[in-house]
Structure 1
Amino acid sequence: MLFGDVTLAARIEQAEAQFIAACSEAAAGRRGDRAGFVVPIAGGVASYAEPGSPLNKVAGLGFAGRPEPADLDAIEQAYAARGAPVQIELSSLADPAVLELLAERGYRLVSFENVLGRALGDGVEPVEAPGVEVRPSGDDEFGAWLEVVVEASLHPDTQGVPWLEEFPREVLENAERDAAGLVRRYLAELHGAPAGGGSMRIAGGIAQLTGAGTAPAYRRRGIQSVLLSARLADAAAAGCDVAVITVQPGSKSQQNAQRRGFGLLYTRAVLASGPV
C-alpha cells in the first residue's frame, strides 16, 4: 500500500496547482480576454477563470512556506473584484502554519475531499466487462466524449458526501474544453453506444486521473472499472510511479478506486472566505 507522506503530497499538490493554472490560462485563450487571473502564491496558485467556474480556487499551498499576509490581501481583493469567494483547497499534510494563518483571517471549513493513490511499479491488472470497450478518444469525436462526461457530471451518484458545488451544463462544458488539450481522453462504449468517459494527465511521474463518469442509463455495468484499468495501464506504460484520484468521502468513486488498489493518501480541507 502506497504511503502518503509529505514528500509525495508535495509532488501531487504541485501537479494539481500546475494543472489548475494551465486550465485557467486555456480559459483565458478561449474567452479572448484577461478577465481572469493566475497568480502564484507560496508554491501554489490562485486561479480565476470565469464566473462560477470550478477552476476558481487556490491550490497547492502549504509546501513552500507560509503565504505573506500582503499576498493574501492581493488575492482576496482580486476575487472580491470579480464577485467571487476565495476558496482554498489545503492538504492535511501542508505546513500547519498555513492553516493557522487562514484561521486568523476568518476562513471557515466548508467541505473535504480525499486524495487517493496507488503505486504503479508492479503492473496493472486488466479489467473487462461484458459489452464494454474503452479506447483513447480523439478530436474527431470530442463532441460525443464531452456530451457523455458532462451528462454524467450533471447526475452524480448520491452515495457518500456530495460535492460542495453544483455547476450548470455550460460551465462544465467550458471547463472540459479548457482541459481538453492538457489531458488524455478516453471514451467508453457499451455495445457500441457512448456510455462513459474519462481523462488523465501525466506530470512528473504522476498520473492524475482528472475525471470520469458514466451516463445514468449505463451505470452498474462495470464501465468505471474498465475506464480506470485502461488509464492505469497507460500510466504504467508511460513510466508513472503513482496514480492519484480526488474523490468525495464515502462516494461510489472512492469505493471503486479502493477496489482497484487505491488507498487514502491525505485529505484536502476546502476553506472559504466570503459567501459560497
Structure 2
Amino acid sequence: MNASRTPLFCDTVLAERIERAEARLMAECCEAAQRGDSPGFVHVLAGGVASFAEDGSPYNKVAGLGFHGVPSAADLDDVEKAFAAHGAVVQVELAHLADPAIGVLLTERGYRLESFENVLGLALDGEYEPVALPGFVIRRSGDDEFEQWLEVVADGAAHPDTQGLPWHEEFPREIYLRAQRHSAAAGEQHYVAVRDGAFVGGAGLRVSEGIAQFAGAATAPAHRRRGVQSALLAARLADARAAGCDVAVITTQPGSKSQQNAQRQGFDLLYTRAVLVKQP
C-alpha cells in the first residue's frame, strides 16, 4: 500500500461501471446454470438484471438498478411474478448512489430493508507484485485442481469469520458448490494457498471491461490470521493490473475481517448496497 496515494473517488459513472459488471456476472452465472437444465431466467430490467439460477442460489437477485432510469410498474410486476413462480423472494441489491426514486418505488411496493453490503475499490494505477508468505505457496490454480480448490473454499465458507455484521446470505454446502461451478463457467479464475502440499485457502478473480471483481475468498480455520487472504489479494491485484484492469472491487459485509484486509491493501469504501427483499 502506498501511503501517498490518492484515495479512489466513486462518482455515479464509476458506480454504474461496477454495477454493470455485477449484473453481467449474475446473468452469466444464471446462463451457466441453465446449461445444466436449471429452470432459471434472466430478465433485463432498467439497465440491470433480474436473475434466477435455481432454488436457493446466491445468483437469485436483482442487480445493477439505478443508473438507466426507474423500472416501470409493469416490468416489476413481471419480475415479481417470475420469482413467485419459483416460490422465491425478490432480493434487490441497490447501490446508495443509484437513483433515489427506485428506493421509494420499491418501498411502496412492499420491499423491506434486510441488510447492507459494502463495495470497496482500488485504482490499479501503480505496480503490484505478489508477496511472499513464509511457509505458504500462493499461486494460480489450474482447471485440473478445481475440485480441490472448491473443497477448501467451501470448507472456509462453512466457518465464516465472526468479525463484523453477520453476512445476509448463508447457503447449504450443496448450493454453494453448484454456485461456485456456475461462477467458474462464467470465467472466474482461481487462486490457491498451499501449505505442506495441502490446499488451505482459495480465492477468485473475474475480469469484466476493465473491472477486476474479487470473489470466492476463504481460508481454512486452522490457517487464519497468518496473512493468507492478504497474499491471495496481492497475487490477484498483480494479475488484474497485468490484464489491463483499471479498477479492482471487492464486496464485503460491513466491519468484517475481509473489509479490514482489503483496506490494509489500499482499497477504499466506495459505496454501500442496501438489500431490499419482497416475499412471494
Q: TM-score range by the shorter chain?
A: over 0.9
Q: Specify which of 212, 216, 225 is matched with residue 211 of structure 1.
A: 216
Tell me if the contact between 2:240 and 2:248 (Cα under 8 Å) persists in the aligned partners.
Answer: yes
Q: Specify which of 230, 236, 256 is matched with residue 235 of structure 2.
A: 230
1:20 aligns with 2:30: no
1:157 aligns with 2:161: yes
Alignment of 1:172-211 (within 5 A): 172-181=176-185, 182-211=187-216
Quote the residue 1:9 is aligned against: 15
1:90 aligns with 2:94: yes
Residue 103 of structure 1 deviates from its aligned partner by 1.2
Quote the residue 2:71 is aligned against: 67
Q: Take 2:188 and 2:131, find their aligned partners in 1: how far apart are those partners?
A: 22
Q: Take 2:245 and 2:169, find their aligned partners in 1: how far apart are those partners?
A: 31
The alignment partner of 2:273 has SS state of: strand
Residue 37 of structure 1 deviates from its aligned partner by 0.6
Q: Specify which of 215, 223, 226 is matched with residue 221 of structure 1.
A: 226
Q: Take 2:49 and 2:169, find their aligned partners in 1: how far apart are those partners?
A: 20
Tell me if the contact between 2:129 and 2:235 (Cα under 8 Å) persists in the aligned partners.
Answer: no
Q: Take 2:153 and 2:10, find their aligned partners in 1: how far apart are those partners?
A: 29
TM-score, normalization: structure 1?
0.97
The alignment partner of 2:106 has SS state of: helix
Residue 59 of structure 1 deviates from its aligned partner by 0.2
TM-score, normalization: structure 2?
0.95
Quote the residue 2:4 is aligned against: none
Q: Take 2:76 and 2:104, find their aligned partners in 1: how far apart are those partners?
A: 14
Sequence identity (%): 64
Q: Specify which of 165, 170, 190 is matched with residue 166 of structure 1.
A: 170
Residue 125 of structure 1 deviates from its aligned partner by 4.8
Offset from partner CA, 1:35-92 (integer Å, 9 cap, x none): 1111000000001111111111000000100001000000001111111000000000
Amino acid of the structure 2 residue aligned with 1:169 = R
Unpaired segments ≥5 residues, structure 2: 1-6
Alignment of 1:260-271 (within 5 A): 260-271=265-276
The alignment partner of 2:245 has SS state of: coil
Quote the residue 2:81 is aligned against: 77
Amino acid of the structure 2 residue aligned with 1:4 = C
Offset from partner CA, 1:156-195 (integer Å, 9 cap, x none): 1000011112111000000000111311111111232100
Tell me if the contact between 2:204 and 2:216 (Cα under 8 Å) persists in the aligned partners.
Answer: yes
The alignment partner of 1:38 has SS state of: strand
Amino acid of the structure 1 residue aligned with 2:64 = G
Offset from partner CA, 1:230-269 (integer Å, 9 cap, x none): 0000001111111000000000000000000001000000
Amino acid of the structure 2 residue aligned with 1:9 = A
Unpaired segments ≥5 residues, structure 1: none
Q: Specify which of 49, 58, 61 is matched with residue 57 of structure 1.
A: 61
Q: Take 2:264 and 2:143, find their aligned partners in 1: how far apart are those partners?
A: 32
